[in-house]
Chains A and B, each alone.
Chain A
Amino acid sequence: MFREFYKPATAAEAVELRRRYPTSLYLAGGAEVNSRGGHARCAPGVEVDRAIQIAHLPLGGVHSTGNGVLLGAGTVIQELIENPEVPPLLARAATQFANRNIRNVATLGGNLAINRSCSNLIPSLLALEAEITLLGPEGERAVPLEQYVAGHDPASLLVSVRVPRQRLEAPWATRKHSRTVNDLSIVSVAVVHEGSRESLRKVAVALGGVAPTAVRLHDLEERLEGQALPDRDTLEGWVRGMIHPIDDVRGGAAYKRQVGAALVGWALHHAAAGRGDKA
């Protein structure tokens, strides 16, 4: 539980506090770190007791720029739905995120920084080949989201997310598979591709729920580069061999593998048909 609260004047000050106190966490909306009365951990077994508030820092906002769309990490999820500047794929994924009460407090940066495999926002941003800006003690650096997700660095402050322009116009699809609509995703998918159905280019396929973090299926993407879109059964067969989910309370590995494969096949066909915004 948080006992000390800091309200840094700048993002750099926030980062400095985070460095100074190993039992501290950034507190944006609080949807995650305040859940269950604030028993958040910043590392296994390490209970958090210091909150570095960042909600008041100028980290929000969605801006269209010359080379894409820049999303402030402090943007609440509900704004991703309401702001027309947000890439439609991300907006669509946001509609499938929890429920309105949670979307009203949870932030984009918070969800990425928690880096759960069941986040259905991360696959969307992976498929959009988003790049994030991190602020660490050494200053700002830009890293591909995929790199951040794989080698998670919770000490740096996630400042913004940039979606490159060429992915904004590309066909896309996303879907979340869960028990109830409110539920965390068991498996979620997002795809974006360029080129055409007859000759796919720069296909990005991202899945949540089938590995410890959300992942891109690079093997599949390479196989599809320059190719015509294979039929659903072929795609399912390929994907089944490429993913290795685990058994847990929410389902067995074989089930998640089949659903992951089915969602990828669906998403690629859905995207290629230009039907991204339809369910």
Chain B
Amino acid sequence: MKISFELNGLKRELTVEPGEPVDALLRRIGVISIRNGCNGEGMCGACSVLVDGRTVNSCLLVAAQLDGRQVQTVEFFSKHRTLSVIQSALVDTGVVQCGYCTPAMVVAIESLFQRSAHPTREQVTDALSGIFCRCTGYEQFFQAVELAAQRLADPDFKCPPVAPSFREEMRVVGKPARKVDGSKLARGEKAFVEDMVEPGACVLKMVRSPHAHAYITSIDTSEAEKVPGVVYILTHQNCPDIYYNQAGQGFPEPSPYDRKMFGQKVRHVGDRVAAIVAETWQAAVEAEKLLRVEYEVLPHVLTADEASAPGAPILHNSVQEYVVGAPEGLDEQNRQADPRDGRILYQFPIHADPRRNLAASVHGGIGDLEKGFAEADVILEREYESAQVQCTPVEPHVVYTRMDGDRLVIHASTQVPWHLRRIVARLLQTDENHIRVIKERVGGGFGAKQDIVLEEVVAYLTWITGRPIFQRFTREEEFIASRTRHVIKIRVKLGAKKDGTLTAVYMGVKANTGPYGAHCLTVPMNACSKSLPLFLCPNMGFDVHTYYTNIAPTGAYQGYGAPKGSYALQLAVAELAKELGMDHMDLVEKNRVREGVMLEILRCLGEGREGQPEKVMSCGLGPALERGRELSQWGQRVQSEDPDWKIGKGFAIIQQGSGLPGLDSANAEMRMLSDGTFIMLSGGTDLGTGLDTVSVKFAAEILAVDMTKISILAGDTDVTPFDVGAYASSGTYFSGGAARNAAQNMRQRILEVAAGLTGEKIEDLKLVYPAQVQGREKTITYREIAHFAETGTGCGQLIATGHFIADKASFPYGAHFCQVAVNQRTGEVKIQKYFALEDCGTPVNPELALGQMYGGVLKTIGHSMYEQMIYGPDGRCLNPNFIDYKVPMIQDLPEEFVAELIQTDDPYGPFGAKSISEITCNGAAPCLAEAIHDAVGVWIRTWPFTPEKILAALGKL
């Protein structure tokens, strides 16, 4: 049918399929700012546009409904290259993180300002109530709208600082400044993988297992292949016989190579059965219907307890091989293997026993636990369990691959471009020089994009067929075939003297890794390594056992194992305080980590390698606790006016690491351009966190120039040097450290050349702002140096590289406090106050660091209170969508929500900086659980803390 409507002020007449969703239609005609995060459920709002001035989800409209309407998208509001007042305010206040939802937020706020020139907090909440953002935690949107309102009322409005500044002696480090990619994202420009797809690209549709555990007894693709437009079908029958692990970890990985791209055995509902490459989606759908697959269905297990029970069905009855360290008796075990299960290759022992479904195990400790418990006056033993939660980046997993001559180009939304290249090269049996990975802007990663969950198949099929191929996960695939938090049950046993001195601390970790062993050793181990070192106790021990089961795959998720370990250990300490009749904070003060102490426990907590004791060089825990005590009015009971509601408080202390010393490595390169400005080539992978901005700030600080004099290219394996990627909170520390080192080497080059040109000694020269080298007598500009370098008699372009590794660890610390009200009759919990105090050393981008804190806290409030993947008895996830799996939206914010940065100066981190991202995920669960207990007297020892569990604990059900 023909429709006529106004798009961004211009009349458009189109012939359309009347049932085409409007979000797809708008993208098809070139409005690329329209995003899609829920496959047209209408739950995420990423496709928001204004229709006749009202914010609506364009995915909920069909083309026919557009007839005669007026449509405005973000493109309408920023003319040419300028930013609108609202876009500027969003960038200035740091709410543009990954940027995937930003265009939607812009139009919603534009519409809000049409209703009100000075919106209240309530109006802002209402205006943004339908748009899901997983990064920011929404809190700074209030600030952004306030700033926009001021600027709209008074164009000369002098903006007060949007966030505190740190490190007075520095020009740019520690100061709020516009994120380097902020403008592009706020304008909704071409930035993400889906924007790079060229016309004519094929699509890939993954056919997935309907069974939780089964052998494929036959696959007949012959009819499916006859469908016009079908290009190739890949199954276990024609897939290379190469085993690997999808975890994007450094090689050799501590995760077992326990899968092929396609196996004869499927191990979870949603496991791969066949990949159909077709010229159109319709052809792929048609082919899927004609695919004949027969299964021999096997019994399945969904929990670690079931998996570890005697006689449990074995997920990987595979032939085991070891690169090094094969255990004894392997041949005997291998004789009993079932060839249909395939093989497992271990790079080194992770103490697995797949015939018992044991994916990995580790044990360790210091001192003498038995002696410690014998010395205790009080022993407390409790068990805590986390739920399976999904990362839910608004941009699902997506990849576009194409050939460029004989080379393969992968446009990826990944946290690990170089691991991706390595893994793909191995599967293609080619060399890495034939592959280029371009990390585009990433619409949220949160750990799910640390793993190679779709890229390798698409890459392989482009390599085979030569065709460009695009694949984008549906929201359901994101739940059932991407990555989730490991389900972990932790038994904590504490021994203490009457005065609260801890005499023994034990954590017994039983983890469920799902069907494959991505991160199966390191995530559960991390539950111990980021929890135990918060307390000083001579006798500590841990046991970790990870089991295979048939739930959806697990893996890395912001915080890694720490949120689970923190929940268990922190809550156990809160319970111990009650048992001892002590104030929880007094008990923590008595036993907590402090600056200058040696953490002996780390000796046995390396990530798949030998650990080493570490000295705590910077620790802001003391000030964080002090500030939290003050903000929360700790110790003062608050009475509710409504007898249904009881009020309680809780707190937890938290830590994380800053990358993986001894394992991680990052590189950067700087080039001076002809006019004395710079290009920074960074291996770092900015996921929206502001890493590119960190790198530019470090270089601008060192080279005495404005940030605008340094442009950055990052995460392109052809162009930028190697970096392990963005995980384990390594960005600022490692990738930032490499950028700093490159800038320092550039400074050295500048000084050397300047010395030659001025005839002064290097030690008499210094860089002075802006872009000059000053000696005792002479001053020379970078422009002059650059010009000299490039002339026929010059020294050649100034190029400097920087490499960063670390052998010392820098731990960020913090404390979270909250106040909740619990309804005794309905079990509802209202989070009245939440205070997050964190020490990330020097906060390099203060407003973005705060945004990471708000985002991480709100995410984990979701995990603690309502998020959970639920399975039916057949192993099928019952809620793989945003209708049934709820994520926090702006209306779910705590009533009072405060994040504050506690400055310390870390001697190892670049400019004293430590990490900020993951630590922020570790506090919500234990502090909320303690507050619920404080309110109504029940300990909720499993995630999530639903009204149903609270009512049950209160004896109301």
Contacts and interface: CB of A to CB of B under 8 A. Distances in A.
Interface string B38-57: 01111101001000001111
Contacts of A37: 21, 39-40, 59
Contacts of A67: none
A51 B17 CA distance: 13
Interface stretch (B125-133, B624-632, B646-654, B744-752): B125-133
Contacts of A255: 827, 947-948, 951-952, 957
Interface string B13-48: 000001101000000000000000001111101001
Nearest to A261: B825
A259 interface: yes
B947 A182 contact: no
Contact of A101 (B18, B57, B883, B952): B57
Interface stretch (B152-160, B555-563, B727-735, B888-896): B888-896
Contacts of A29: 60
Contacts of B947: 177, 255, 259
Interface string A230-265: 001000100000000000011110110011001101
Given A236-B825, A258-B951, A34 B888 contact: no
B577 interface: no
Contact of A180 (B60, B126, B892, B948): B892
A53 B130 contact: no
Nearest to B104: A101
Interface string B103-130: 0000010000000000000000011011
Interface in A40-78: 51, 53, 55, 78
Nearest to A250: B884
Given A99-B891, A183-B886, A259-B947, A30 B825 contact: no
Contact of B61 (A78, A98, A105): A105
B891 A101 contact: no
B54 A51 contact: no
Contacts of A259: 826-827, 947, 951
Contacts of A258: 825-827, 951, 956-957
B878 interface: yes
Contacts of A104: 54-56
Given A236-B825, A259-B947, A38 B891 contact: no
B879 interface: yes
B40 A35 contact: yes
Main secondary structure on B side of the interface with A: loop
A249 B826 contact: no
B1 interface: yes
A30 B61 contact: yes
Interface string A1-21: 111110000000000000000
A232 B866 CA distance: 28
B431 interface: no
Contacts of B42: 31, 34-35, 101-102
Contacts of A251: 946, 948
Nearest to B823: A262
A207 to B, nearest CB: 13
Contacts of A141: none
Interface in B57-86: 57, 59-62, 64-65
A218 interface: no
Given A101-B129, A184-B883, A38 B41 contact: no
Contacts of B865: 179
B828 to A, nearest CB: 7
A266 interface: yes
A150 interface: no
B889 A98 contact: no
Contacts of B807: none
A223 interface: no
B129 A53 contact: no
Contacts of B56: 101, 104-105
Contacts of B40: 34-38
B198 interface: no
Most buried by A among B866, B870, B947: B947
A262 B825 contact: yes
Interface in B448-462: none
Most buried by A among B48, B62, B870, B888: B62
B18 A102 contact: no
B220 interface: no
Given A53-B65, A180-B889, A255-B951, A34 B60 contact: yes
Most buried by B among A36, A98, A183, A252: A36
A96 B55 CA distance: 18
B644 interface: yes
A100 B109 CA distance: 12
A99 B129 contact: yes
Contacts of B21: 34, 37-38
A36 B39 contact: yes
Contact of A265 (B1, B129, B825, B883): B825
A255 B826 CA distance: 9
Most buried by B among A2, A100, A232: A100
A31 B891 contact: no
A180 to B, nearest CB: 4
A181 interface: yes
Nearest to A259: B826
Interface string B858-890: 000000011000100000001100011011110
Given A38-B19, A259-B826, A100 B55 contact: yes
Interface string A87-103: 00000000000111110
Contacts of B41: 35-36
A252 B956 CA distance: 13
Interface string A154-188: 00000000000000000000000101111110000
Contacts of B883: 184
Nearest to A106: B60
Contacts of A99: 45, 129-130, 889, 891
A5 B1 contact: yes
A177 B886 contact: no
A182 B65 CA distance: 25
B891 A179 contact: no
B131 A101 contact: yes
Most buried by B among A36, A101, A177: A101
A36 B951 CA distance: 34
Nearest to A263: B826
A183 B828 CA distance: 14
B18 A98 contact: no
A66 to B, nearest CB: 32
Contacts of A254: 957
A182 B866 CA distance: 13
Given A31-B42, A249-B878, A259-B827, A101 B130 contact: yes
Contacts of B39: 36-37
Contacts of A266: 644, 825
A249 B884 contact: yes
Nearest to A252: B948
A209 B39 CA distance: 26
A259 B951 CA distance: 9
11 contacts: A30-B61, A31-B60, A34-B62, A35-B40, A55-B65, A99-B129, A99-B889, A101-B45, A101-B131, A180-B887, A265-B825
Q: Which A-B residue pairs are the 4 nearest by beta carbons?
A: A101-B130, A181-B891, A99-B130, A262-B825
Interface of A: 1-5, 27, 29-31, 34-38, 51, 53, 55, 78, 98-102, 104-105, 177, 179-184, 232, 236, 249-252, 254-255, 258-259, 262-263, 265-266
Interface of B: 1, 18-19, 21, 39-43, 45, 48, 54-57, 59-62, 64-65, 108, 126-127, 129-131, 644, 823, 825-828, 865-866, 870, 878-879, 883-884, 886-889, 891-892, 946-948, 951-952, 956-957
Given A35-B60, A100-B127, A181-B892, 11 more contacts: A3-B18, A34-B59, A38-B40, A51-B62, A53-B65, A101-B55, A179-B946, A181-B889, A182-B129, A252-B957, A255-B957
